[in-house]
Amino acid sequence: MSKTNERRLTIARAMAEAVQQEMQLDPSVFVMGEDIGALGGVYGNTRGLLDEFGPQRIRDTPISETAFIGAAVGAAQDGMRPVVELMFVDFFGVCFDAIYNLMAKNNYFSGGSFKVPMVLMTSTGGGYSDAGQHSQCVYGTFAHLPGMKVVAPSNAYDAKGLMTAAMRDDSPVVYMYHKGLQGMGWLGTEAGATVHVPEESYTLEIGKAKVVRPGKDVTIVSLGMGVHNALKAAMRLEEQGVSAEVVDLVSLVPLDRDTIRASVAKTGRLIVVDEDYMSYGVSGEIIASVTEHDISVLKAAPKRVAFPDVPIPFARVMEQYCLPNPDKIVEAWSRMQAA
């Protein structure tokens, strides 16, 4: 299936390439985090950068997230453009003040006189039995608190464009990459995430959702790994003669409500797929965004396929039972028909 001139990269490589190209262009960009130097990032997204840029600009840190994320805020306010890594998003609790009370708010607190141009990149997601402190998405947690842009790529093309856009953005951007899409040797990777990536630098507009599959009977909205589940479900639904449109949110903040609403206005039905916990998160927000706008377009009650409100269990059978998957999406469609 691969075409000539195709340059298929994993998300990990696409991220590293974006950072590499931006660091070549802009001396104020640098990277900080745990194991991002010699190791190249646990999830491979800084591989090769230490060799090219050296330990001044590719800085391994102590296990001191409060200090080094706080330091990124201070450096960003002083003219630098730090890219800082929180190894697993699950660790946000040890350093969240630096994130949501400083990084997110200093632009506002200063009336815009201090800018905080930094990227916080962090890995999300489970599916490989890493249990309840290493498998979460907590998309909703980050998207709920104002002042941070929040993006989550589903494939390498978007990953590169979003990373470049994030580094060039004068506002803080949280960049959430899903481990199961990353293309690490030691972790299975969803094949659909590894796609053609142009060599030259480019940006993707932050705040725009993408219709990644057109359809007319139901809109399936998701992000990150969920997009691939949605696409697989859409193929299965197609076999049943159902035409599903799939919307990849790409960005949670700003949230592209127009694209979602336009899609549901067309299809009349909505399923939201989210690997984050179900309640008080992304799935609720998407449904509310549609229904508060116009309920007349809906032909059926919207449905959600999300992680139940339980910590993420270790045992594979339990974790897989909880995770969204194409079956559950198809089943949500069936429940919709039954209602």
Calpha distance 121→214 (Å, rounded): 30
Among 175, 180, 190, CA closest to 126: 180
- Residues in contact with ligand TPP by CB under 6 A are 34, 63, 65, 87, 91, 94
- Residues in contact with a second copy by CB under 8 A are 66, 90-101, 104-105, 108-109, 131-133, 138, 140-141, 143-147, 252-253, 255, 277, 279-285, 287-289, 291-295, 298, 300-304, 309-311, 313, 339
Q: Would you say 159 and 15 are in contact if contact means Cβ atoms under 8 Å apart?
A: yes
Calpha distance 257→96 (Å, rounded): 27
Return the structure tokens found at 232: 């697989």
Give the contacts of 326 (CB within 8 A, at least 6 positions apart): 229, 232, 233, 236
Binding partner of residue 178 among a second copy, ligand TPP, other proteins, none, CB cut-off 5 to 8 Å per kind: none
Binding partner of residue 67 among a second copy, other proteins, ligand TPP, none, CB cut-off 5 to 8 Å per kind: other proteins
Answer yes or no: 293 catalytic. no
Calpha distance 98→292 (Å, rounded): 33
DSSP type of residue 187: S
Calpha distance 133→87 (Å, rounded): 12
Q: Would you say 206 and 302 are in contact if contact means Cβ atoms under 8 Å apart?
A: no
The residue annotated as part of the active site, out of 22, 34, 65, 85, is 65
Which residue number, 295 or 315, has a Cβ lying nearer to other proteins? 315
Give me the least distance between CB of 47 and other proteins, in Å please: 11
The residue annotated as part of the active site, out of 134, 178, 228, 285, is 134
Give the contacts of 267 (CB within 8 A, at least 6 positions apart): 215, 216, 217, 218, 219, 245
Pairing assessment for the beta strands 251-253 and 210-213 based on DSSP bridges: unpaired
Give me the least distance between CB of 339 and other proteins, in Å please: 23
Which residue number, 280 or 321, has a Cβ lying nearer to other proteins? 321
Which residue number, 122 or 283, has a Cβ lying nearer to ligand TPP? 122
- 77 lies in the site for other proteins, by CB under 8 A: yes
Calpha distance 114→117 (Å, rounded): 10
- 54 lies in the site for other proteins, by CB under 8 A: no
Binding partner of residue 190 among other proteins, a second copy, ligand TPP, none, CB cut-off 5 to 8 Å per kind: none
The amino acid at residue 254 is P
Answer yes or no: 228 catalytic. no
Which residue number, 99 or 282, has a Cβ lying nearer to other proteins? 99
Give me the least distance between CB of 66 and other proteins, in Å please: 5
- Return the residue of 58, 76, 165, 231 that touches other proteins, per CB under 8 A: 76
Beta bridge partners of 253: 150
- Return the residue of 23, 71, 218, 329 that touches other proteins, per CB under 8 A: 71
Which residue number, 91 or 307, has a Cβ lying nearer to ligand TPP? 91
Pairing assessment for the beta strands 81-88 and 29-33 based on DSSP bridges: parallel
Calpha distance 46→52 (Å, rounded): 11
Give me the least distance between CB of 259 and ligand TPP, in Å please: 36
Which residue number, 26 or 294, has a Cβ lying nearer to a second copy? 294
- 265 lies in the site for other proteins, by CB under 8 A: no
Give me the least distance between CB of 61 and other proteins, in Å please: 7
Burial 131-147 (b: 16+ CB within 10 A, else e): eeebbbbbbbbbbbbeb
Give me the least distance between CB of 174 and a second copy, in Å please: 13
Binding partner of residue 202 among ligand TPP, a second copy, other proteins, none, CB cut-off 5 to 8 Å per kind: none
Return the structure tokens found at 79: 């003219």
Give me the least distance between CB of 141 and a second copy, in Å please: 6
Catalytic positions, please? 65, 134
